[in-house]
């Protein structure tokens, strides 16, 4: 990009100093206009690069899939840090896992708070998408430990506030 700007600037300077170099003034105008457009767009590309190309998205997803966040995984389950204590959830204790989505009322745009709800024999846990570091790896680990993980389960609206839940896993009753 910088080379393009330098070349365009040289051409612009040459045409400006030798203005009536061509038979027609229109050709000089067109060359000057083209050089200004190229310089403008090249400068914009340098200062505002495309941030979402394939490689940057892949690198970001790889980092998220490797990032533990507040979770520590073992063969029997996983620990997560809750305030000042560590809590352990065994894979065998998990009864069901739901994906939830709640509309945020105080925003003008239709934004939603999303996350995972894990129901165990002892209690329920909710992990928010934005406030829980490592939730992407948690989803991946849950999917790996439960063979009956349902990705295409129907979404159900639970209440009048717009809470939506999707069942991702439910322990088979024996």
CA gap 74, 68 in Å, rounded = 12
- Asked if pLDDT for residue 110 goes beyond 60, the answer is yes
For the chain, give every domain's residue range: 2-47, 55-170
Q: Between 156 and 163, name the one with better pLDDT.
A: 163
Fold (CATH) for 55-170: PH-domain like (2.30.29)
Strands (E), the chain: 71-73, 77-82, 85-90, 94-103, 112-120, 124-128, 155-157, 164-170
Summarize pLDDT for 31-50 with one digit per residue, the tens: 888 889 999 988 888 888 76
Instruction: Return the ∠ at Cα 147 (arms to 124 and 101), rounded to 5°.
Output: 40
Residue 160: pLDDT band (50, 70, 90) is: low
- Asked if pLDDT for residue 108 goes beyond 60, the answer is no
pLDDT value for 84: 84
124, containing H or E segment: strand 124-128
Query: How many percent of the chain have pLDDT more than 90?
Result: 11
Residue 5: pLDDT band (50, 70, 90) is: confident
For the chain, give the mean pLDDT.
Answer: 83
CA gap 95, 171 in Å, rounded = 5
Poorest-pLDDT segment among 1-5, 14-18, 119-123, 129-133:
14-18
For residue 122, give the 3-state DSSP assignment.
coil
Residue 78: pLDDT band (50, 70, 90) is: very high
């Amino acid at each position: 990009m910088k080379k393009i700007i330098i070349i365009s600037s040289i051409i612009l300077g040459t045409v400006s100093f030798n203005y009536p170099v061509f038979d027609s003034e229109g050709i000089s105008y067109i060359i000057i206009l083209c050089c200004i457009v190229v310089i403008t767009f090249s400068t914009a590309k340098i200062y505002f690069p495309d941030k979402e190309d394939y490689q940057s998205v892949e690198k970001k997803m790889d980092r998220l899939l490797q990032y533990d966040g507040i979770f520590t995984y073992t063969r029997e389950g996983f620990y997560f840090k809750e305030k000042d204590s560590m809590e352990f959830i065994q894979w065998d204790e998990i009864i069901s896992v739901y994906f939830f989505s709640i509309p945020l009322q105080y925003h003008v745009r239709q934004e939603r708070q999303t996350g995972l709800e894990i129901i165990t024999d002892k209690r329920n846990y909710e992990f928010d998408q934005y406030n829980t570091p490592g939730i992407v790896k948690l989803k991946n680990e849950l999917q790996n430990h439960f063979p009956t993980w349902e990705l295409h389960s129907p979404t159900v609206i639970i209440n009048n506030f717009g809470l939506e839940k999707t069942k991702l896993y439910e322990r088979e009753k024996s």
